[in-house]
Amino acid sequence: MTLTVPKCPKCEHTRFAIKSFDPIDSRYKLVAVYCAACGAVIGITEYDDNGALIRKLAKRLNIRLD
């Protein structure tokens, strides 16, 4: 299996950056992953790390998650 390098679908650049933003009419921040060369958005993810938040909450409630 060959190792594939992610490429921008628009310009084939291989470096990316992230930026948080507030969508219109949304109560939640999101994070856009975009091409560092042309700015094309290649993905959107949640601002909060839900896994970390769940582990933090479980710890405070003394709940084991395993």
Site for Zn ion, rule CB under 5 A: 8, 10-11, 13, 35, 37-38, 40
User: Cβ closer to Zn ion: 13 or 32?
Assistant: 13
Question: In angstroms, how far is CA 6 from the centroid of its own chain?
Answer: 15
User: In the chain, at which residue ranges do the beta strands (DSSP E only) sit?
Assistant: 16-21, 30-35, 41-46
Q: How far is the CB of 7 from Zn ion (least distance, A)?
A: 8
Tokens for 2?
Answer: 């060959």
User: Cβ closer to Zn ion: 41 or 58?
Assistant: 41
Q: Rounded to the nearest 10 degrees, how much is the dihedral formed by the CA atoms of 15, 43, 7, 36?
A: -30
Q: How far is the CB of 37 from Zn ion (least distance, A)?
A: 5
Q: How far is the CB of 31 from Zn ion (least distance, A)?
A: 18
